[in-house]
Amino acid sequence: MAGCCDPRGYDEVFGDGFARHVASRYRRRGLDRTARRLVDFLAEDDLSGASVLEIGGGVGEIGVELLRRGAARATTLELSQAYDDPARRLAEEAGVADRVHRAVVDIATSPDDVEPADLVVLHRVVCCYPDHERLLGAAADHCRRRLAFSHPPRNPVSRGVFAMENALFRLRGREFRAYVHRPQAMAEVVTRRGMRRELAHAGTIWQVQGLTR
């Protein structure tokens, strides 16, 4: 896989501090509730021999969990390199480091640099990317069996919160922006590519959609 760049300031927002926080939270408390929902959906079939593609996977804890449950190998794509050291340590501690691969690549703009996988997951990622159609389209095109992603609900509260956050990013001179894409539009990007929606969990803060091929 080729390297990539950080065109939208991901390194500034998702830097060393964020990466260390996520890794240490996972060590203390395991997966957050939404990530558990994603993993449970992805693990509904037999995982033996399965490959995992975690897009925007941060420290890669979802890949680690699926490897623990029997998946064969996991690839984590990121746009920020800040996660690399904590991710390596987590994989070593879990005894799965030889089955984990990481790459800095944007699958939406460089789809040919990424191998397809049986299971594809995006946790808290689509809301960090402006073009949900291109990102989820590439995710679905690379998915052989199951795809799951989380996203915030789209309502007046979430839109207000995201607008305030984006105003703060702008004031601080940061390039990064967060997005509240329409849940139905995101699902349709994937179903247009021949996948069927089997899970639509409407949480208050994070929602989960799960699709099968």
Ligand X SMILES: C[S@@+](CC[C@H](N)C(=O)[O-])C[C@H]1O[C@@H](n2cnc3c(N)ncnc32)[C@H](O)[C@@H]1O
Could you say which of 129, 148, 152, 186 contacts ligand X (CB under 6 A)?
129
Of 53, 74, 78, 102, the residue at the interface with ligand X (CB under 6 A) is 78
Contact region with ligand X (CB under 6 A), list: 95-103, 119-127, 163-171, 180-188: 119-127
Out of 67, 107, 140, 189, point to the residue binding ligand X (CB under 6 A). 107
Distances (CA, A) of 207 to 108, 115, 156, 168: 22, 27, 16, 24
Closest CB to ligand X among 29 and 48? 29
The beta strand positions in 64-206, using DSSP E, are: 73-78, 100-104, 117-122, 143-151, 196-201
User: Is the distance from CB of 123 to CB of 32 less than 8 angstroms?
Assistant: no
CB-based contact 51:117 (threshold 8 Å): yes
Task: List the Cα angle 52/53/54 in 5-degree steps.
Answer: 115
Judge whether 54 and 60 are in contact, CB under 8 Å.
yes
Q: Which of residues 146-185 bind ligand X (CB under 6 A)?
A: none
127, amino acid identity: C
Q: Which stretch binds ligand X (CB under 6 A): 51-59, 64-72, 89-97, 187-195?
A: 51-59
The answer to whether 60 contacts ligand X (rule: CB under 6 A) is no
How many amino acids of this chain bind ligand X (CB under 6 A)? 20
Helix (H, G, I), strand (E, B) or coil at 16: helix
What is the smallest separation between the CB atom of 5 and ligand X, expressed in angstroms? Answer: 11
Could you say whether residue 75 binds ligand X (CB under 6 A)? no
Say whether residue 128 binds ligand X (CB under 6 A).
Answer: yes
If one asks whether residue 106 binds ligand X (CB under 6 A), the answer comes out as yes
**Contact region for ligand X (CB under 6 A) — 122-130, 141-149, 163-171, 185-193?**
122-130
Give CA–CA dist 99/86, Å, rounded.
16
For binding to ligand X (CB under 6 A), which residues are involved?
A: 10, 14, 22, 55-58, 77-80, 106-108, 123-125, 128-129, 135
